[in-house]
Amino acid sequence: MRADRLVSLVLLLRQRGRLTADTLARELEVSTRTVLRDIEALSAAGVPVYAERGRHGGFALLPGFRTELTGLNHEEALALLTAGSGRGEQAFGLGSALASAMRKVVDALPESHRATASDAVRRILVEPETDLLSRRPVTEEVPDRTMTEIRRAVLTGHRLRIHYTAVDRPPRWRTVDPIGLVTVRDRGYLLATRSGADRTYRLSRISAAEELPEPARRPDQVDLERVWRERCARFLSGDHVAVSLRLNPERREDLLRTAVAVRAAEPEADGRLRLEATFQDLRHAEWALWQLATDAEALAPDSLRAALRARAAAMATRYGGPS
Residues 6+ positions from 64 with CB-CB distance below 8 Å:
none
pLDDT value, residue 142: 82
pLDDT value, residue 175: 96
28 with 13: CB under 8 angstroms? no
Concatenate the DSSP letters of all residues of 171-222 into one string: -EEEEEEEEEEEEETTEEEEEEEETTEEEEEEGGGEEEEEEEEEEP-S-SS-
Query: What are the per-10-residue average pLDDT scores of the chain (323 residues)?
Result: 72 82 86 86 77 77 62 55 54 64 63 61 59 58 86 90 86 93 81 91 92 91 86 74 92 86 84 90 91 94 94 91 74
Q: What is the largest CA-CA distance in the chain?
A: 83
In whole angstroms, give the CA distance from residue 243 to residue 251: 16
> Each residue of 140-161: b (16+ CB within 10 Å) or e?
eebeeebbbbbbebbeeebbbb
E strand or H helix at 104, and its extent?
A: helix 95-108
pLDDT value, residue 9: 82
Q: C-alpha angle 139/140/142, rounded to 5°?
A: 135
Q: How many residues does the chain have?
A: 323
pLDDT value, residue 130: 63
- Residue 6's alpha-carbon distances to 26, 112, 204, in angstroms, are 14, 25, 32
pTM of this structure: 0.51
Tell me the residue type at 260: V
Question: By CB neighbour count within 10 A (0-12 exposed, 13-18 middle, 19+ buried), where does 288 fall?
Answer: buried
